[in-house]
Amino acid sequence: MKKILLIIGLLGSVAQAQELDKEKEKAAKIATNFTWEGNKELSESNFVNAEANYRKAISQNAANSIAPYNLGNAYYQNETYSEAFGRFKQAGENATNKADKHRAYHNMGNVFMKNKEYQKAVDAYKEALRNDPTDEETRYNLALAKEMLKKEQEQQQNDQNQDDNKDQDDQKDQDQNQDQDQDKKDGDNKEDNKGGEDEQDQNKDEGDQEDKGDEKQEENKEGEGDNENEQDDIPNTDDQPQQQPRPNQLSPQQIKNLLEAMQNEEKKVQEKIDAQKVKGAKIKNEKDW
């Protein structure tokens, strides 16, 4: 009895598997038809209908690699590169043979080249060549991607050097400006100090001039006092007005009076000497002035 039940179960599983296979085969046929319709619409430049048919094909058979690959080509031709890359990636993941994988990665490399992502393009082309080393077009694209990557790196290096030089120039200009500001500040301080010293020198000169003025006033005062004393010693013998003398100089009248007074004094002295002598003639003292 158990053997009979086991046989019935096996027969049921086989029948179910066969049914699933029939459904998959049917879905694959439908997907193929939609893919064919999409190719036709795309050849007629009817992108909208082509896209719709490719999407239907993918929904019927998600494991299909042809429909997403062709849809990726449609997006690529329409310059919708981000959508194209997504479909090429899907085709590469669904591909069951190296030829399909090669085509998918080759086109992924083309998308990266359009986006100027050269390092990613190099990696995609290398993966394509792993699946088909004989494809000369892929090999050429790989060489081109490497050359573009090299130029990009050189340009980046040049830009970096220019930025570094600019930073150095900016720093140099900043240092020069700081030096100029410091020199100007030092110059201003020097001028202020010089102004203070000049003011001190000026005050000193004014003080010296005041001291000299005081000394001159003292000298004039002393000179006036001497003149007054000399005038007091000279007797005035007549009532005639005397000529006003210049500083430190006697008038002619004062000189005359001074001579007469000296002669009178000498006369008195001589008389006293003569009176004391017993003998001797009287001597008249005469001076040639």
Listed in sequence order, the residues at least 6 apart from 134 whose beta carbon sits closer than 8 Å to its beta carbon are: none
Question: Residue 38 domain-assigned?
Answer: no
The whole model's pTM is what? 0.54
Distance CA 121, CA 143 (A): 10
Question: Residue 126 domain-assigned?
Answer: yes
Is 86 within 8 Å of 59 (Cβ atoms)? no
Question: Residue 250 domain-assigned?
Answer: no
Cα→Cα distances 138→121, 130, 145, 152, 160, Å: 11, 11, 10, 21, 33
Q: What pLDDT was estimated at residue 126?
A: 97
Q: What is the CATH number of the domain that holds 96?
A: 1.25.40.10
Based on C-alpha coordinates, what's the Rg of the chain? 67
Question: Residue 121 domain-assigned?
Answer: yes
Question: Residue 236 domain-assigned?
Answer: no
Q: What pLDDT was estimated at residue 205?
A: 58
Q: Within a 10 A sphere around the Cβ of 99, how many other Cβ atoms?
A: 12
Question: Residue 94 domain-assigned?
Answer: yes
Which two tokens mark 72?
């990726």
Is 71 within 8 Å of 58 (Cβ atoms)? yes
Question: Residue 95 domain-assigned?
Answer: yes
Range of the domain at 85: 65-157
Is 144 within 8 Å of 112 (Cβ atoms)? no
Number of domains in the chain: 1
Question: Residue 120 domain-assigned?
Answer: yes
List average pLDDT for each run of 10 residues in the chain, which is 289 residues long: 52 62 84 93 92 94 92 94 96 95 97 96 97 96 97 93 81 80 73 59 57 54 49 44 47 76 77 57 35
Cα→Cα distances 25→57, 144, 157, 274, Å: 13, 43, 57, 187
Q: What pLDDT was estimated at residue 13?
A: 62
